[in-house]
Structure 1
Amino acid sequence: MASGTLLYAQSGGVTAVINASASAVITEARARKIKVLAARNGILGALREDLIDTSKESAAAIRALAHTPGGAFGSCRVKLKSLEADRAKYERLLAVLKAHDVRYFLYNGGNDSADTAWKVSQLAQAFDYPLTCIGVPKTVDNDLAVTDTCPGFGSAAKYTAVSVREAALDVAAMAETSTKVFVYEAMGRHAGWLAAAAGLAGQSPDDAPHIILFPERAYDETQFLAQVKKVVDRVGWCVVVASEGIQHADGRFVADAGGGKDSFGHTQLGGVASYLAGRVKDQLGLKVHWTLPDYLQRSARHIASKTDWEQAQAVGKAAVQFALKGQNAVMPVIVRTSDAPFRWKIEAAPLSKVANHEKKFPPGFIRKDGYGITDKARTYLQPLIRGEAYPPYGTDGLPKYVALKNVAVKKKLPAWEG
C-alpha cells in the first residue's frame, strides 16, 4: 500500500468543471486509502501551511463537487520564480511538505501552474525529498500544449455558442427599428479558441456570428468597419464576437484595461466589446448593443458540456493513478483518437513539454477572410460541446451546489513571513 499524504491545490482562473477534477482526485485517492489535504488558495495555502483536511467531508459532499462550479478550495494567481530567485519560498514549501508527510503534489491549473508543478518536482529532486508531482490540466482558454483540449474549455465554449445563438435571435427580431449590431466579448488573451467556439452557433455565412475577431490576426479598424457595413447591408444586422486579446498590428492590446499586471505578468484586459461598439456607432451611425460575459463564461455550470465534465473527471482520476505509480513531473493529457465517432483517451505527458508552451488557434482553423472558422475547426470544436451534464435542481428552481466545510489542519510550523 502507498504511504504518505497527497496535497491537492488549484491555481489560476477556475472553471465550471474544475471541481469535477477535484472530486475525482479525492474519490480515487480515498479508494486507494491515501489521505488528501487541499491547500487553501493554491500555492499560497501551501506556503502559509493553510491546509484543509478533505477527510472531514462526506462522500456525498465530494460527489456533489462534481456538479458544483467555482474552486472549492480557492485559487490564486501566484507564479514561483526560479529556485535561485525564490529560494526562501521553496525552502518554506519543502518544510511544509515534510511537516505533513506529503509525498504526492497535484496542482490543478493552466500553463503557469504546470510550470509551478514542474519547479516543485525539481525542488524535491534538488533536496533529495521523495515527492511525486503531477500537473492537472485546466483552462477555459484551451491553450495548453500537448493535450487535445483543456478541461474547462468545452463548457465555456458551449456557453459561448449557446449565448451567441440566443442573442442573435433577439437581435434579428429587433433589427428593423432598433439594434443593428451586437458585440460579444469572449475570453482569450493570446489564443482565440473561445471566440472561435462562437462560430458553432451558425452554419451559413448569413448566420451569426457574422464576424469573429481573433487575437491571432491583427485588428484593422478600417477593414473591420467595412465588414460590419457589408454584413448589415446584406443581412440587415450583424453579430460580432471579439476575443479580449485582439491586438493592433504593433502589438498593443485593443482593450488594455490600464490595470497593470497580475503576478503571472499578464496585462489586465477587458472592454474590447464596448470599444468596438463605440467605434461602430461613431463611424457607421448604427445602433449597437454589447456584452462582456467575463466570469459567466467560466462559471456557467448549469449548461456544462458532458464531454468536458467527463474529461475533467478523467484527468483527476488519472492524476492520482500516475502519482501512485511514481510517474513524476507529468500531466494527464487528453489524446483524441477519432473524430467520427469522437473518441479520446488519457496519456501522461512530461510537464517540461507543457510548461510555458502556448497552443495558439491554428491558421488552418481561421477562414480565409479572417472573420470566421473553417470546417476543420468545426470538426475539432463540435464534439467538445456535445452532451449535457445538468446539475440537480432544488424546489426553489435553482441548482443545488455544495459548500464544503474546509476544516483546517493544525499547523506544525511557525507562521510564514514571506
Structure 2
Amino acid sequence: MPKNAFYAQSGGVTAVINATACGVLETAKQYPDKIGKVYAGRNGIIGALTEDLIDTSQESAEAIAALRYTPSGAFGSCRFKLKGLEQNKAEYERLIEVFKAHDIGYFFYNGGGDSQDTSYKVSQLGDTLGYPITCIGIPKTVDNDLPITDTCPGFGSVAKYVAVSIREASFDVLSMAKTSTKVFIMEVMGRHAGWIAAAGGLAAEKESDGPHIIIFPEVIFDPEKFLAKVDFCVKKYGYCSIIVSEGAKNQDGKFISEAGTRDAFGHVQLGGVAPVIANIVKDKFGYKYHWAVADYLQRAARHIASKTDVEQAYAVGKAAVEFAVAGKTAVMPVIVRKSSQPYQWEIGSANLADVANVEKKMPREFISEDGFGITPACREYLQPLIAGEDYPPYKNGLPDYVELKNVAVPKKLATTFEVKK
C-alpha cells in the first residue's frame, strides 16, 4: 500500500498559496501507486500535532481546480515554529505518533523561512528518532526573502498590487494637489527586506511619476534627507507620493514603529509606520496629507494577481510531489531565472539546510544612490514578476472563490496534545 501524504500551509498567506496546494493535490493524483491519500493539516503544523487532519479526497476535482484562483489558505495557516529536538522532544514524538497512526510517509510544508526551518527539522526525524519520512519544503512568502530561489511565490502578486495601487493613488493626489492633499504615504509589508516597497517603484516610469520616495528597511531613515526630498518633490511636481516599508529603521537601528508585542515566531509586532512618517512631514511643512496601510489587502488581492506568480506557485507545488516520488527529500523546489528579456524560468531544487532561517535582502545595487528609489537593474528583475493577468471567474460582480468542505479525518489516537505557543 502506498504511503499517505501530509500537506500544510504556514505563515502569512498569499493570493496564490492555494494555487500551490492545487499543484500538490492534482499532481499527487497522478501517482496512485506512490501516494495514497493527501491529508491537509488544519491550521498548518498544528493540525499534525493535534491530529486535526483534513481528507482532501472528499473534495471534488472542480473544487480542487478552483483553488488555483482562490486566495488565502484553504486549509488554515499558522505561525508556529517547531523548537529544536533537545528543547521539546515531545513535539517530534507526537508528530511520529500521528504520522504512524495515519500511515503518513510524505510531508509537504508550504511557507517561508521559518516554515522551511520546520521542514528541515521534520526531514531529520529518520536520523534522530528512527521514523524516515520524505520531506519537501515548498516556497511561499510575499516578502520574497527566501534564498537561492530567484523569487518566491506570492511576491509577484503583492508586487503587482502595490505598483498598481501607488500608481492609481498618485494620479488621485496629483489631480487634487493644488488645493488639497500634497503628500500621500502608503505603508507596505517588509520587516527586514524591502522587496515589496521596491515593487512600488515600477509605477514610476518617468521622473515626475509617483512614488517619488521609497523608504527601505535596508537604508537607515534620515529625517533631514527625507524632508529635503519631500520639499523638492512638492515644489517641482506639486505633490509627493511615498512608499514606506513597515520595517523602516531609524539611526539607532530600531524599527520606526513597534507595537511592543511579538508574534508566535518571536518577531516584533510592528505598528503603523505610515502615520509616523506623515507626522514628520506635517510638523515640518504643514502640508495636508493622507496615509494608507495596505496590510492584508496587498497579500489577499487575487483579483489582480500576476499571471507569472500564479504559474510559478502551481509549478512549485507540482514539482514538490514529483521530487518526492522520485526519492528526493530535505529539498525545496526553487525558481531559476534563465533570462530576463525575454523572461524565461525553470524549476530547480535547493537543500533545506541551505534555506532554513536564511533571509535574502535587497542588494544595494538595486537601490538608487540617494536611497529613495530603485535602479534599472532592480526594474529589470522585478518587471517580469508582475507580468500578465490571471483573473478569477466573477459572479454577481464579485470574484467567485471556492470554499472547501474540509472534512475531518477520524482521529485514531486516544491521547491529545496541547500546543504551546
Settle same-fold status: TM greater than 0.5: yes
Contact persistence 1:330–1:351 (CA under 8 A): yes
What is the aligned-residue identity percentage? 63
**Which residue does the alignment assign to 1:207?**
209
**Which residue does the alignment assign to 2:103?**
101
Whole-angstrom CA distance in 2 between matches of 1:235 and 1:417: 58
Whole-angstrom CA distance in 2 between matches of 1:339 and 1:417: 48
Whole-angstrom CA distance in 2 between matches of 1:45 and 1:193: 31
1:402 lines up with 2:410 in the alignment: no
**Which residue does the alignment assign to 2:418?**
417
Whole-angstrom CA distance in 2 between matches of 1:401 and 1:59: 15
Is the partner of 1:267 in helix, strand or coil? coil
**Which residue does the alignment assign to 1:12?**
11
**Which residue does the alignment assign to 1:340?**
341
Counting matched residue pairs gives: 415
Superposition pairs of residues 104-253 of structure 1, within 5 angstroms = 104-253=106-255
Q: Unpaired segments of 5 or more residues in structure 1?
A: none
Which letter maps to 1:221?
Answer: P
TM-superposition CA deviations, 1:379-402 (whole Å, max 9, x none) = 0000000000000001x1001000
Q: CA deviation at 1:123?
A: 2.0
Q: CA deviation at 1:150?
A: 0.1
Q: CA deviation at 1:3?
A: 1.5
**Which residue does the alignment assign to 1:92?**
94
Contact persistence 2:125–2:133 (CA under 8 A): no
TM-superposition CA deviations, 1:144-189 (whole Å, max 9, x none) = 0000000000000000000000000000000000000000001000
Is the partner of 2:29 in helix, strand or coil? helix
1:355 lines up with 2:359 in the alignment: no
TM-superposition CA deviations, 1:300-329 (whole Å, max 9, x none) = 000000000000000000000001112110
Whole-angstrom CA distance in 2 between matches of 1:417 and 1:357: 29
TM-superposition CA deviations, 1:67-108 (whole Å, max 9, x none) = 000100000000111101010111111111111111100000
Whole-angstrom CA distance in 1 between matches of 2:372 and 2:90: 49
Whole-angstrom CA distance in 1 between matches of 2:392 and 2:364: 36
Whole-angstrom CA distance in 1 between matches of 2:132 and 2:356: 22
Q: CA deviation at 1:244?
A: 0.4
Whole-angstrom CA distance in 2 between matches of 1:326 and 1:48: 28
TM-superposition CA deviations, 1:97-129 (whole Å, max 9, x none) = 111111100000000000000000112322222
Whole-angstrom CA distance in 2 between matches of 1:124 and 1:218: 45
**Which residue does the alignment assign to 2:301?**
300
Is the partner of 1:176 in helix, strand or coil? coil
Contact persistence 2:215–2:372 (CA under 8 A): yes
Contact persistence 2:177–2:238 (CA under 8 A): yes
Whole-angstrom CA distance in 2 between matches of 1:51 and 1:244: 35
Whole-angstrom CA distance in 1 between matches of 2:402 and 2:134: 30
Comparing 221-230 and 400-409, the one that deviates more: 221-230
Q: CA deviation at 1:274?
A: 1.0
Contact persistence 1:94–1:124 (CA under 8 A): no
Whole-angstrom CA distance in 2 between matches of 1:270 and 1:174: 29
**Which residue does the alignment assign to 2:29?**
30
Q: Unpaired segments of 5 or more residues in structure 2?
A: none
1:328 lines up with 2:324 in the alignment: no
Q: TM-score normalised to the size of structure 2?
A: 0.97
TM-superposition CA deviations, 1:280-308 (whole Å, max 9, x none) = 11211100000001000100000000000
Contact persistence 1:104–1:132 (CA under 8 A): yes
Which letter maps to 1:232?
Answer: V
Whole-angstrom CA distance in 1 between matches of 2:271 and 2:74: 26
**Which residue does the alignment assign to 1:277?**
278
Which letter maps to 2:232?
Answer: K
TM-superposition CA deviations, 1:241-262 (whole Å, max 9, x none) = 000000012111001122x111
Is the partner of 1:12 in helix, strand or coil? coil
Runs of 4+ in structure 1 deviating by more than 2 angstroms, as ranges, are none
Is the partner of 2:196 in helix, strand or coil? helix
Contact persistence 1:37–1:51 (CA under 8 A): yes
Whole-angstrom CA distance in 1 between matches of 2:92 and 2:211: 48
Q: CA deviation at 1:270?
A: 2.7
Whole-angstrom CA distance in 1 between matches of 2:264 and 2:417: 19
Comparing 203-212 and 63-72, the one that deviates more: 203-212
Whole-angstrom CA distance in 1 between matches of 2:188 and 2:418: 39
Which letter maps to 1:99?
Answer: A
Which letter maps to 1:174?
Answer: M
Comparing 382-391 and 260-269, the one that deviates more: 260-269
Which letter maps to 1:339?
Answer: S
Contact persistence 2:125–2:132 (CA under 8 A): no
Is the partner of 1:208 in helix, strand or coil? coil
Is the partner of 2:259 in helix, strand or coil? strand
Contact persistence 1:83–1:123 (CA under 8 A): no
Which letter maps to 2:168?
Answer: E
**Which residue does the alignment assign to 1:68?**
70
